[in-house]
Amino acid sequence: MGLGALRAPTLDDIDALAEAAFARLPDSFRKRCEGLVIRVVDFPDDETLDEMGAESEFDLLGLFRGRGLAHRGAVEETGELPNMIFLYRRPLLDFWCEGEDTLAAVVTHVLVHEIGHHFGLSDADMEGIERAAQ
């Protein structure tokens, strides 16, 4: 394939990488993610950027939105939105271009980190899960 045929990974490409990364996570970890929604969008919205104190739309690679399992009660509240993980395509691509890791490794890292927020896991726990997913 010549250089003229190269194209930037699309939202669907990143989504496929995230799905593959999720499928490689340990079964016990995945089963606890029931109802978790993963969305890939180009950039965080302005409200999210303001809320997170981001200086640039490229500052966030991903974000967990919702209430982690550690903060949920025994009964879900009426009208409560599902927990969501947003992966931001353009910042992910920018980060990937600056580093040595594959795009799949970058997506896996961000996905595991954001799911870790869902569970209230420590960085050490997340590193172990990430190693298991490679």
d(CA 132, CA 126): 10
Q: Could you tell me the residue ranges of all domains in the chain?
A: 9-68+82-132
Mean pLDDT of the 114-119 span: 82
CA nearest to 25, candidates 95, 115, 96: 115
pTM for the full predicted model? 0.84
The model's pLDDT over 67-89, given as tens digits with 9 standing for 90+, comes to 765 544 545 555 677 889 999 99
Least confident of 8-12, 96-100, 109-113, 127-131: 127-131
- Give the pLDDT score at 74: 47
Domain 9-68+82-132 classification at class level: alpha beta
Please report the DSSP string for 35-85 in residue order: T-EEEEESS--HHHHHHTT-SSTTS-SEEEES--GGG--SSPPTTPPPPEE
Residue 115 has pLDDT above 90, yes or no: no
Read off the pLDDT of residues 11-22 as tens digits, 9 standing for 90 and up: 999 999 999 999
Work out the mean pLDDT of the chain and round it to a whole number. Answer: 85
Q: Would you say the C-alpha torsion 80, 20, 134, 104 has a positive or negative sign?
A: negative
Give the HSE-up count for residue 74: Cα atoms under 13 Å, Cβ half-sphere.
0
User: In the Cβ-directed half-sphere of 88, how many Cα atoms lie within 13 Å?
Assistant: 19
